[in-house]
Amino acid sequence: MMTSATRSSAKHHELRSVPPASEAPPGSKHKHEDGVASPDAKRSKTSDEKEQQTIEESFASENAGASSYQDTKDGEETEDEQAAETTPQVEKEKRTAPQTKHQDESAVEPGGRDGSETMPSSILEKGIIYFFFRGRVGIDEPSEVDEIARSYILLRPIDKDAKLGSGPIGDAGNTRLCAIPKKVLPLSGKDRWISFVEKSGASFQQIKDEFLSASDYATKTAGTRHSPAATPVGEGVYAITSTGRESHLAYMLTLPDKLGEVQKEIGLREKGSFILSTKNPEYPGPASTQLPKGPEYPEEILKEFRSLRWMPTQPKHLDYVNTQFLLIGESSGVEKALETQKKDQKAGVEEPAEEMEKLEEEDAVRMKHLSNDDASRIFADLEVHSKGFPRLQTTF
């Protein structure tokens, strides 16, 4: 497996704490149960309940703007420009079932792990992850964090028992684009970003045309404005895991092989993880984070929420456009997210960390042979010609 030097912690903005994930039914007198649990919170209900506040109260506080979908940029941009950068795509998109192979040429080898029964039960999904950001309007090459409009995560799932061979990953038509309305990624339990699924079941052509490419748009007050192309800042492997009461998104970076200034500034690590909690669409959220339209969940998913405002994220939640989820930083790296479950220990099943390390090593080998530079490798993996798109940015 590839190894890298110990990484320094990325700079980040701290937010006021948002309450824990255990919820009370509507009508409960305890408003402190309306949020999602911090990984660093103590388990004592008595002490916690006195300090917690609802997500709505937290966003209404003086620090609310730090987690708003509409981050203030320079005071000179109009409401039209802000809307163009922050309003998500709300049209229903085609959702296709995950496939292992879409083309003849795919690095995904189904059954490569000798059957799903040998896989850790805590791994709900695994695949390839890409990190991008987009510069503010008119800024094609950001020279500092403040010139970033928002960050994005692309998830391309593969079968749980698959391994990676050579070549590009292949377009299975199951890629998800998750928008993070912040400039940086959350690093600790104090960092809680409400994010959303902007595209699901997307093809690589959709990703190219509707996300990666630059675009020009008209405003009523400032004429035509230019939205820059998305800039790649990292690629690797990921796993969505369950540790019982929480779900996690753990990742191991393959590219770049050594973190640069940009990666550190936006909060990327060699190995990192986040706690994931999905918002119940039947409850209104803070005004600053409301979407024009909610996800179109089937009745079976809605019933699973019961009366909870939030629940641990399951991969199927991310297959619906406008799913809102809370992304909470974890300062412990991937240790908690890849914790071995007791039932797997008894059954002698492989540890989650071992599977992730195997996947990362396979990914490193295949990416090395895709192209001569990191950005071209990422774009080749997404079946996009890198010409005309930004290089993988490591310095400001």
pLDDT digits (tens, 9 = 90+) for 135-163: 999 999 999 999 999 999 999 999 999 99
From the list 361, 257, 253, the residue with the least C-alpha distance to 1 is: 361
From the list 210, 225, 178, 230, the residue with the least C-alpha distance to 84 is: 225
Per-residue pLDDT, 120: 93
User: Average pLDDT, whole number, for the chain?
Assistant: 80
Per-residue pLDDT, 115: 63
Distance between CA atoms of 317 and 278, rounded to whole angstroms?
A: 7
Mean pLDDT of 352-369: 97
In this predicted structure, the answer to whether residue 235 has a pLDDT above a threshold of 50 is yes
Tokens found for residue 278: 């999905």
Dihedrals phi, psi of 354, to nearest 5 degrees: -65, -45
Per-residue HEC secondary structure of 323-355 comes to: CEEEEEECCCCCCCCCCCCHHHHHHCCCCHHHH
Name every residue whose Cβ is closer than 8 Å to that of residue 266 and which is 6 or more positions away in sequence: 10, 131, 133, 145, 148, 151, 183, 184, 185, 233
pTM of the predicted protein model: 0.77
Share of the chain residues as helix, strand and coil, in percent rounded to the nearest 5: 25, 25, 50
Per-residue pLDDT, 73: 35
| C-alpha 240: how far from chain center | 10
Per-residue pLDDT, 77: 42
The larger pLDDT score, comparing residue 324 to residue 341, is at 324
Mean pLDDT of 327-346: 93
Cβ–Cβ under 8 Å, residues 157 and 169: no
Distance between CA atoms of 316 and 304, rounded to whole angstroms?
A: 12
Residue 170 neighbours by CB distance under 10 Å: 20
Per-residue pLDDT, 47: 37
- Per domain, the residue ranges of the chain are 31-381
204 to each of 171, 197, 200, 364, how far by Cα in Å?
6, 16, 11, 21
Range scoring the smallest mean pLDDT among 69-73, 231-235, 332-336? 69-73
pLDDT digits 0-9 by tens, 278-325: 999 999 888 888 999 999 999 999 999 999 999 999 999 999 999 999
